[in-house]
Amino acid sequence: MKVDFFIAKRLLSKRNVSTREGENSTRPIIWIAIAGIALGVSIMLASVAIVTGFQSEIRSKIIGFGSHITVSAFNPLITDYSRPIGKYQDFVEPLKANPSVRTVQTFANKEGIIKTDEELHGIVVKGIDESFDWDFFEKNLTEGKPFKLPQNEPSDSILISKSIADKLKLSLNGKVLVYFIQNEKARPRRFYVSGIYNTSLEKIDNTFVIADMRHIQKINEWSPNLVSGFEVVLHNYEDLEKLDDFIYNYIDHNLTTIKITDLNRDLFSWLELQDINVIIIIILIILVSAINMSSALLIMILEKTGFIGILKSMGATNWTIRKVFLINAAYLIGVGLFWGNIVGIGFCLLQDKFKFVKLPEESYYIPYVPINLEWGYFLMLNIGTLILCTIMLIIPSYVVSSISPVKAIKFR
């Protein structure tokens, strides 16, 4: 093996290259092949970082507004939040004790209509209590701040989206009337705009308003111990299926669990399609890189025909000579991988810090190209590219077997 590496190293040395005309013809081809691998690797790294970053950002927005899993009253036909359930359930404490669970919070939803002097807009008021996690809204507020929940009486503050504020010409600290329908009667409530949020998700921004749950309970004529359901927020999205089964085993027969992937099936299906796009890109780029390197190796073998003849005349086997060229080619692939990582990871780090590549927010829900620096993916891409390209080089290396030592030496 040491001999193989020594010979391969000599092949790579400029001082070992003959000055005979045409002998240096492979060098431009080799550099083109290396450049192709470097470009392909940088594109693959950027594609994986962008797609996984995009998926992570969109998922965090959808889940951040609600939760990973919702527990509510069972209805086989629709998601029904009008049927209340008890606020104190036996499954809550085991859930909170589970290390995969970040928080368990109660909520109460109620449809309503926001009315101004000139406009009407249908909404869903999401009622919250002291268990609510404000972390998501603190990151997505454009104006104002989250409201506090006093103990003695309901808060008259609400959070509305920038979309609703723009449509109804509402401003921070402004007054707004919300009409609820209960028992076929309009039940108006006056609120003050405490904050304006923006998720860029049209389905959320055009629909939801955040308010004190006690307003919903009073309008629905519920006791303080009744809610629409529970929202379970996890630490990791990957634990969704496992925790859904865990929760389902604890809840009563009159309750059900609803995963965020079921509530937003269209968005999550769209995100899953991005995985297919990345896989296709990776396959095509590795295939092109392997073909380029195979062509370079084949030309390199043909150019070194005389050298191969001398090695065979000295007793070298076909496999030994093939290993020399394969080691040579693997080294060149490694050079391409090195520069590809420099360019690809460098772009990802710069985009992650400065966000200089922008996106139309109304189409992509994010104002910039997101980056997810998942080093495990980067390592697998590099190892996979090196292995697959090297394996594909075995086929052109068989040309060595067809070279006759006598003719090769004469050719030299």
Backbone angles phi, psi at 87, to 5 degrees: -70, -25
* pLDDT at residue 400 in the model: 66
Question: Does residue 10 lie in a domain region?
Answer: yes
Q: Looking at the structure, tell me whether residues 42 and 84 fall in a common domain.
A: no
Dihedral sign (CA 42, 46, 47, 52): positive
Residue 87 and residue 39 share a domain:
no
pLDDT at 80: 59
What burial letters (b/e) apply to 188-219, b meaning 16+ CB within 10 Å? ebebebbbbbbbbbeebbebbbbbbbbbbbbb
For residue 197, CA distances in Å to 27, 169, 190, 209, 218 come to: 58, 15, 20, 10, 26
> Domain range for residue 37?
2-61+268-411
- Where does a domain end: 202, 218, 252? 252
Q: What is the pLDDT of residue 78?
A: 56
Final residue belonging to a domain, choices 252, 283, 300: 252
Distance CA 410, CA 184 (A): 102
Q: 166 and 209 share a domain?
A: yes
pLDDT at position 5 is: 54
Is 325 buried (19+), middle (13-18) or exposed (0-12) by CB count in 10 A? Answer: buried
The one-character DSSP state at 130 is T
Residues of the chain with pLDDT under 50: 14-23
Q: Tell whether 202 and 275 lie within a shared domain.
A: no
| Same domain membership, residue 231 and residue 92 | yes
- What confidence score (pLDDT) does residue 408 get? 56
Predicted local confidence at residue 328, as pLDDT: 80
- Distance between CA 277 and CA 52 in Å, rounded? 12
pLDDT at position 2 = 54
The predicted structure's pLDDT at residue 49: 93
Angle between helices 305-313 and 318-354 (to 10 degrees): 130
99 and 214 part of one domain: yes
Residue 260 lies in a domain: no
**Do 242 and 279 share a domain, yes or no?**
no
> Looking at the structure, do residues 294 and 347 belong to the same domain, yes or no?
yes
d(CA 266, CA 101): 25
CA separation (Å) from 48 to 105, 121, 126, 371?
34, 40, 36, 9
Residues 189, 317 within the same domain: no
Count of domains forming the chain: 2
The pTM assigned to this predicted structure is: 0.79
DSSP 8-state secondary structure symbol assigned to residue 82: S
- Asked, for residue 309, whether it belongs to a domain, the answer is yes
Q: Which of 221, 252, 283 is the last residue of a domain?
A: 252
In a domain, 34, yes or no: yes
* Beta carbons of 258 and 69 less than 8 angstroms apart: yes
Instruction: Establish if 116 belongs to a structural domain.
Output: yes
Residue 180 lies in a domain: yes
pLDDT at 18: 41
